[in-house]
Structure formats: structure tokens, C-alpha cells
Amino acid sequence: MISDLKLLGWSQFFNGQLDLEEFETLTPLRLTEVRRRSVMALTPALERMEIALTGDHVATDMAVGDFALTDGERLIRLLDRKTVISRKAAGLQAQAQLIAANLDTLFITTSCNHDFNEARLERYLAIAIEAEVTPVIVITKADKPEEMAAEAYEDRAKALYEGAEVLLINAKSPEDIARLEGYCGTGQTIALVGSSGVGKSTIARGLTGEDIEVGEIREDDAKGRHTTTARSMHRMHAGGWLIDTPGMRELALHDASEGIATLFEDITDLALSCKFSDCQHRSEPGCAVRAALETGELSEERLERWRKLMDEDARNSESIAEARERGRKFSKMVKNTMKVKKAKRGE
């Protein structure tokens, strides 16, 4: 069973979470779709199985790519995730919405044209680094570069982060797709992010042989319409899994301060040497960041992009934290009111 499980992306990390009894009586599953009242999952034999969500299990706690244990009928428990990517859900609740779990690699996709944008690439890099998912920058349309030579785009991407491999490809060429497959072998799980039109569907088709429809299913119930994800985990020729969900294509930055600090390690390090610990690196005396600008060690553009990313992260993270805080205060107030009412009634 263990070798079959490897096909699903199982590893020692998950094995270590099972006690002996669970090991003998339960079966691991990997979630491929999350609906409102059920999940679709793959068994170690790669058979599809639908499991109704009952009791404490709610769809909003689950992500495509999660591992769970089943007794054959019910979902017993979800296993801890190796990695998770989330986005801020639209609307007033401002909750983090889980997009994909247990990714190994994120292909950050852009093209040799006006789509290429350092700030956008850095946003995705920060998301990947924060989630501890390996970032790989894929630059498509190497066969028809606009504005500058394809290699110039490659060099600009390489300058962004040492920890990210940069691959310059023609997404329509099978030989170039084969260069991505080192990240897509058995046991590996990947996802693609990037703007519309950069070639994500073309790459996905090259890696899986399928035309992947990224759609949202709408389910009706008495309370209205709900959006859930369609089948979102696809087997790749190389043996691994591609997760493609609508949410993945609309990622925004939130709660990624560590990812940003790692991505901009030079600025993070410089800031430690500023005279004031709350230095804004504007006009304070003894500012190591401004000193690095003057020597040319750091560029004004890079500093500006760092500021903007920090601002964006702070804006998006705060509202989630604040919403949580509001939620806590509200439920506390309700509880207190109930208590007072009960006391009045003499209960």
C-alpha cells in the first residue's frame, strides 16, 4: 500500500501522523474536489470516491490536495498539511480561503512581453516562500519575444531571487515542457499561477495531455447559491499531480511577512543596522538602507517594490485579523447577553 500511496504524493511527513491503530484500520485519501457537503477523493488505488461531510467536518476547513483518513465510509480526520496556499475570500467575512494543500512546487508564469513585471513576480515569490513551496519562474513565449530579447527577460527574472530557478520556454514545444518535468515526477504536486494569457493552460495541457477546464460549480440550497471547486487535481505524464483551481489563478498576497523578509533578505539585513529600530528608511539619521542606496548596493526601484509589497501585505493581513477579532467580540457579546437573560429568568 505504501508504494501506491507514494503515487498520491504521500511521504514520511504524513506517515508519522498515524498511530498504530489508525495505520491498521484506516485508509488514507487525497482530496481532489471540495464541495459544500461532500468531498471527492482518490484512494491509494487511484479510484475516485465521494465522502459526505458530517459532524465536525466542514468544507471550509478542507483544501484540494489535503490528505485525510477514512474508515471506508466516513471521513475520520484530516492530516496536517506540509504546505497550504490560501487567499482572502471576497466579501465582508474576509476569511482566508484555502486554495491548495501539500504543493511542492509553484510555477510562477509570465511571458516575454508586457506581462513581465518584477513586482508581480515578487508577489508570487513571496507567497510561495511564505508557504514553503518551491518557486520556479517560467517565462513563456521565448519563441516570440516582444520589447526585448528573451534572454533579457530571463536575466531580469534571475536577479529577483537566488532560490528560484528560471526557465525560459516555448509552452507549445514538447521539448520545452519536458524541461519542467523534473518538478512533476511521482509524488510531486505542482500548481501554476500567473496572469490571463501567459500560457498556463498551454503548459497544463503539455504536462497532463488534458484540456483542463477551470470552472466553478454552483450548488443550490435553501440558503442560496454556493461556489465550490470542480475536479482540480490532474495526473501529469511525469507521474505527479497538477492542482488547478479558480482560486489559484486569482491569488492575492496576505500574511506573507516572512516570505517578504526572505525574498528581500538584503533589505531585511540592512534594516537591522539602522540606528532606529523603527526606521522608515526615509530621512532618519544613521539609516543603513539609505546608505546602501547611495553606494548603489541597493536600487531605488527595488526598495520601492519592497515598500509596496509590505503595504499590500499589511493591508490584506490586517483586515483578516480584524475580522477575526470582530467575530470573537461578537460571539462573546452574544454569550454574555444569553447569560444575563438566563440569570434574569433564574436558570
Ligand X SMILES: Nc1nc2c(ncn2[C@@H]2O[C@H](COP(=O)(O)OP(=O)(O)OP(=O)(O)O)[C@@H](O)[C@H]2O)c(=O)[nH]1
Binding residues for Zn(2+): 274, 279, 281, 287
Q: For residue 2, give the H/E element and its range.
A: helix 2-8
Burial 286-324 (b: 16+ CB within 10 A, else e): ebbbbebbeeeebeeebbebbeebbebbeebbeebeebe
| Residue 52 beta carbon to ligand X: minimum distance, rounded to whole angstroms | 32
- Please report, as residue ranges, which positions from 286 to 305 form the binding site for ligand X (by CB under 6 A): none
Binding-site residues for GTP: 140-143, 194-202
Cβ proximity to Zn ion: between 16 and 285 the closer is 285
- Please report, as residue ranges, which positions from 133 to 152 form the binding site for ligand X (by CB under 6 A): 140-141, 143-144
- The stretch among 157-165, 198-206, 250-258, 301-309 that binds ligand X (CB under 6 A) is 198-206
> Is 114 near ligand X (CB under 6 A)?
no
Please state, in angstroms and rounded to a whole number, the distance separating the CA atoms of residues 208 and 45.
Answer: 19
Cell numbers linked to 339: 447569560
Cell numbers linked to 41: 477523493
| Residue 91 beta carbon to ligand X: minimum distance, rounded to whole angstroms | 23
In DSSP notation, 303-322 reads: HHHHHHHHHHHHHHHHHHHH
- Binding residues (CB under 5 A) for Zn ion: these are 274, 279, 281, 287, 289
First and final CA of the chain: distance in angstroms? 56
**Which one of Zn ion, ligand X, none interacts with residue 287, CB within 5 to 8 A by kind?**
Zn ion
> Is 213 near ligand X (CB under 6 A)?
no
Q: How many residues bind ligand X (CB under 6 A)?
A: 16
> How do strand 134-140 and strand 165-168 relate by DSSP bridges?
parallel
Binding-site residues: 140-143, 194-202, 274, 279, 281, 287
| Residue 8 beta carbon to ligand X: minimum distance, rounded to whole angstroms | 26
Binding region for ligand X (CB under 6 A): 140-141, 143-144, 170-172, 194, 196-202, 249
